[in-house]
Structure 1
Amino acid sequence: MLVIGAGPKAVALAARAAALRATGLPAPRIRILEARSVGAHWERPGGWTNGNLLLGTAPEKDVGFPYATAGAGAASAAVDGHLAQWSWTRFLIAAGDYAAWVDRGRPAPTHATWARYLRWVADRAGAQVRIGRVIRAGVAESGAGWAVTARGADGVERVHRARALLPTGPGPASTVIAMAPRVYSQASFWSVTHMEPVFGGAEVAVIGSGEGSANTVAQLLRVGAAGVTVISPDPAIFTRGENRFENRLYSEPERWTALSAAHRRDILRRTDRGVYSAAMMTAIESDLRFDHVTGWVRTAVPEPDGVQLMVARARPGEGGGPVAEDSVIRVDYVVDARGNPPLWFLRYFTPAAREALADAAGGTSPEAVEQVIDRDLSVAGMRPRLFLPALAGFRQGPGFANLSCLGALSDRVLTGLAAEAETAPALGAGAPA
C-alpha cells in the first residue's frame, strides 16, 4: 500500500504493520509518500498551524487507540501489546515528561509536540517514508495497481507503484477567496511570525466555521484584534458535545452501524466538519470581540485601507421561504479558513483514475463516494483499490475521518489488505518517470 501524507493515519498504519510482523503475522508493506517530513502538517511549514496551537483530540487517542484489535484472531491481544509500546504515554515516559504531564492535569499537547510524537513512532516502527510531492496518480498500465508520480527535492520525477492507495491529510493550506492584499489563506496567515503589529487593533473576518477557523479566531483574539467576525452558512457555530455517550461512537464504531441514516446525518452535522471543539469554544465564546454572521461570502475586494466583502444572507421571502440578499461587510483583513473539500486529492487523479472511482461509486461527489465505503474503508468494488478513511464517516463511523480511533482504522485497513498481501507479487517503486 502507498499512503500519501505522513500524518497520524499513515504512522498508525505503519505501526500496526510492524506490530503484526513482530507477532509473526503477515502484514502488507506500507510505504509513505510525503512532501516534507513526518508530521509536517502539525508544524508551521505545513501551513495549517504555527505549531503552538493545542491538539483538539485527547492525546491518549494515539496510534493504537482504542487497542481493540479484531483482525488478528488469537494474536489480537499480542498485537495490541506491541502497539502499546508506541503509545502517547510511552512517548512521554521515554522523554522523561510523563510525571510532569500527569501533575499538570494531562493537558493537551501543542501541535509541534504531537508532530514529535508521530516522528518518534515512525522511527521506532521502521516506517518507510519517501520524500516527494505528488503531481499525478493514475491506474498502472497493467490495471492491477496504482502509478503515482512525485517530484523529489532534487527535482526528479519518480513513479511509485502499489496495489492500493490511501490519500490522507487536509490538502494544501493555500485556499483563498481572492488573491489580494489583506486577504490571507491559512498558509499565509500562519506564516506571519509577528502577528501583533499586523492584526493588533484590527477588524478581521474569518471565513468558515471548522477547527481551522477556531484556531484562527483564538490566535487573532490572542494577539489583540479589535474584533473577529466568523462568516459561515450555518445559523450558529456548533460545538461537539464530547460527552462519553458521543465519544463511544468514535471508540466503538460498531455501534454506528445500528443507527438510522437520519441519526447518522444528524450526529455528523454536529460532530464532524464545520464545528468547534468544546474546549476551543469555552476559551473564546465569552470574548465580546468575537461574533458570527450567517451567510456566504461571494467576493472579497481590496480597498485602500481594508477589504470589502459581499455576503449573501438569507431573509424571509414573500412566500415565506428564504431568499438571498447581498450585504456588504468592511474589515481590515480577511482570513480564509474554509479548508479543502473531502475529495481534494482528485485534482491529481488522471482521467482513468477518476473514471474508475466514478464507475464504482456512481460519481465522484462526496455524497456518492461516502455511500460505497466498505468496512475496510476502501471504495467497494473499485480496482485498483482505493482506501478513503476521510469519507468513511457516514457508513462506518465518525472517528475514521479524524484522529479519534486510529487503531481501529489501521486494523480495518490492514485486515482488508491481508489476503492480497499474502498472494500478490511485489510491485516496483521509485523508478524515474
Structure 2
Amino acid sequence: TSLEARARALALEAHVTFLGFIPDETLPSYYHAADVFVLPTRELEGFGLVTVEALACGTPVLGTPVGATPEVLSGLDASLVFRGISAEIMAEDLLRFLETMARAPDAYERLRCACRAHAERHYTWERAITGLEGALGRVAARGRAAAGTPRPGALLRRNGSAALPECPACGESTRPSALLYRGARHRQCEACGSSLASELPSALDLQRHYETEYPRRFAPESVTSERAGLFRSLLDRLAALGLARTERPRLLDVGGGGGHLAALARFRRWPAVSTDIASPACTVAGRDSQTPAVQADGAVLPFRDGTIDAVTLINVLDQASDPLTILREAHRVLVAGGLIALRVPNARFHRPWVRLLSSLGPLVRSREWDTYPIVHHFAFTPVGLRRLVERAGFRVLEVGNSLPALGTHRVTPHAAAALSRWGRTAITAGVAVLAASRATAC
C-alpha cells in the first residue's frame, strides 16, 4: 500500500508493522500490548468506538480534538487530547507523552488502571442502555408537549369580549384579511403586519407534503447557482461575525433539503450536518452532497443542549406549523453566543403581488401565475420576524432585505467584537421577491 511504501522510503520498516485485519476475538490482546493508542482523526468523528475499546484494555489513548474524542478523554485526563489536528502538533504531543511515560513509569501504570476504570464507569452496556432510555424519554416528552400545544393559528388572545387568534411573531391579535393564497385564507396581525393561514398543517401533514408533492417541483438533488451564491454569502457573513474565529465551528442546517448549504460549510472545513423532515432529502444529502443528514422535525431536534455553534434556517419558518417552537429548539442546541441565520420571503413585498395577480381573474389562477410571489403558511414582515426571533430568546444583530420592499426595516449591525458579551445571538433576514441570488444572508 501507499503507507507501506512511505515507511520503506523513510527507512522505518524496522519500526513500523502493518498488521492488516485483526479478528475481534484477538483485538483485546493487541490493544493491551500497546503502550499508547493514537486516534489521529482530522475530520468529524462520530464517537470513535476504538477509543473506548483501547481504554477498556487499560491502554492510554491520545486523540485529536474532533467529534466525541474530547468528550471521551477529557473526563479521564485532558492532556490526552492533542492540541490540534496537524501532524506536527500530534508528533510533538506524542513525543512528550512517551518521554513522560519513560520518566515516571509508576504514574504511567496508574494511568493504565485509570483507563480501565474510566471505561467501566462510563461505557458499560448497562449505562449505555440507561442513557438511551433517558434520551428517548426526553425526546418523547418534548414531542408530547409539542403535540399538546395549540398550533399558532389556534392560539387565542382575549380582546375585550372576543377571543382572537394570536400572531406567532409578536403575540398580538390578528384579524381576517382579504388575502387568499392557493385556496387558503389568511389572518393578519394588527401590530407587526405578519400573517398566517387560517388552517395550519400538522407535523404529519408537512412530512407527507415534503416527501411526496414538494420533490416533484423542487428536486433535492438540484440547486440553482443563485441559491448556491446565497449560501456562500450567508457563510461569509457568519464568518465575518466571528464564527471563523472558532476552531472548527459546528454548523446545523435545519430544513437543509439536499444538504447543499452544509456541503459548502464542510468545504470550509466546518463540521456541518443538515436535518430535514423528509427522508428522501436526507438520502440525497448523504449520497450526493456527502453530508451527514438526520431526518428530524425542526421542533424536536435530536441534539444535546449547547453543542452547536451556528444554526441556519433558510426558507423554513414560513413553511412550518410552529415557527416559535423551532426557534426555541435552535436556541436550546446553540452554545452561548452561538449564531442563527434565518431567511424567509418578505411579506411586505409578496402579499401585494399575490393580491394583484389573484384579482386578475381565472386565467391567472388557472396558470398558477399567482403562486410565484411566495406566501406560505406564515408571511413574516421584517418587524414581525425580528419580534419572533426575540420571543425565542435571541438578540438580533441585523435585519436586512434582498430587494427594496414596502416598509423596509433595517437595524444597524453591532460591532462583531461585542459578540462575546451577549448571550445567544441572531441574524435575521426579511428577504424579498423572486431573486434569491441578491438576497442578503442576514
Larger proportion of helix:
2
TM-score by length of 2: 0.24
- Taking CA–CA contacts closer than 8 Å with sequence separation of 6 or more, which of the two structures ends up with the larger relative contact order? 1
Which has more strand, going by share of residues?
1
